[in-house]
Amino acid sequence: MKLFIDRRPLRIPAFRRLWTASAISAVGGSFSLVAIPTQLFTLTGSSAAIGLSAVISTAALVVSALWSGALADVMDCRRLLLIGNAGLGLTYVGLWLNPGSVPVLLALVALHGISFGATMTTTGTAVPFVVPAEQLVAANSLNALTRYTGAAVGPLIAGLLIPIVGLSTLYLLDALALIIVLWAVAKLPAMPRRGQRVQLGEGFRYLARDRVLVAILAVDLAAMVFAMPVALFPELAEQTYGGPAGGGVELGLLFAAYPTGVLLAGLFSGTFSHARRHGALVASAALAWGGCVVVLSLAAHLLIAVLALVTGGAVNFVLSTFRNAISQVHTDDALRGRIQGSLTVVLMGGPQLSNVVHGFGGAWLGAQWAVGFGGALTVVAVALVLRAIPDLWRYKSP
């Protein structure tokens, strides 16, 4: 059994190109995640403008995910990926050329959401077409490792570059990175689909009829909505762990701990590449994540809190890897794109809803009580899902 990263999917030229495109996008594309809110706050002096941009981006991404998922079932996925990445490239060029108009910036945020939703959904749809079923876990592990590495490294690089090259140059660097991405996508084999009438609601109807997919969706939503207390990190850092107002080392460690755990698990992903009890691993990881969050709520010292979040990041890597593998294998080929689009909508909405839940919960109960209650609620919710749909625990890979 392999201990470290299972690199077998990288021997497949088509997946290697798809993974290369994702890796470049994960790092280079994350520059805009820092640049856009920074520019908005600089131009308006208001955090409300950043909140508005998040609403616009999320709404655009949801619509795009549904449409692109439906289109991925009736047309060539490679063409959709080219269109989505070209849209991202044009967005970055527009952001670079924008003289400082807030309405133009918000319009480009919407275009970014549309393009990102298309590429995210279509990439998830394309993976099962280029990777054999027995390597899907390894492929999803590689993609997750890349995504979280980009999320951790990209903003750090962006923060270092802003004082040197300026804010607008980050957009240009993103655009240049997309040239390499478009080249990698263009080299993919054609993935033609049978033409049929596009029905946006079919993905949700299919999900509702499949007990295993309903179960993994419910488990994942419980883990994200009840036990993702990112919104409370500033309060915990300042009031529980003695950090300075406005952020400091304590806040940075809390934010860095979770992705660190994800990266560590990714480096040792070969330990579960050949596992067959995918359903039990998804459920166990969700239960473990809820437990980690309970420990976080009880942690009186920062070191214990950081260790709880690192462990939580590791188990969430397992959760996301096997969730993706189950949804990809357990889905009818004719509906794969629509299912992926529906999952994207739900999974992207979960963290946003979590911020709302924990924001109000923290104000009502206090940060530590809200975190602990969320972790305990996750454990209870996952246990109830397993009781209602025992098919999930019994599910094994084909």
Which pLDDT score, from 0 to 100, does residue 312 have? 95
pLDDT band at residue 202 under the 50/70/90 scheme: low
Domain 202-398, CATH class in plain words: mainly alpha
| Average pLDDT over every residue of 215-241 | 86
CB neighbour list of residue 209: distance below 8 Å, 6 or more residues apart: none
Burial class (CB within 10 angstroms; exposed 0-12, middle 13-18, buried 19+) of 267: middle
The pLDDT mean for the chain works out to: 83
| Average pLDDT over every residue of 3-31 | 78
Q: For 129-164, how does the pLDDT look when each residue is reduced to its tens digit (9 = 90+)?
A: 788 877 888 887 888 778 777 766 776 677 777 778
The answer to whether 322 touches 258, Cβ cutoff 8 Å, is: no
Cα dist from 397 to 13, 218, 286, whole Å: 24, 19, 19
Every domain of the chain with CATH number 1.20.1250.20 lies at 1-198, 202-398
pLDDT at 5 exceeding the cut of 90: no
Which pLDDT score, from 0 to 100, does residue 162 have? 76
Q: For 290-345, how does the pLDDT look when each residue is reduced to its tens digit (9 = 90+)?
A: 999 999 999 999 999 999 999 999 999 899 888 888 887 777 766 777 777 777 77
Would you tell me how many other CB atoms lie within 10 Å of the CB of residue 261?
24
| Average pLDDT over every residue of 81-86 | 91
Alpha carbon distance 382, 393 (integer Å):
11
pLDDT band at residue 197 under the 50/70/90 scheme: low
Which pLDDT score, from 0 to 100, does residue 247 have? 58
pLDDT at 388 exceeding the cut of 90: yes
Which pLDDT score, from 0 to 100, does residue 292 have? 97
pLDDT band at residue 286 under the 50/70/90 scheme: very high
Alpha carbon distance 378, 288 (integer Å):
10
pTM: 0.73
Homologous superfamily (CATH) for 1-198: MFS general substrate transporter like domains (1.20.1250.20)
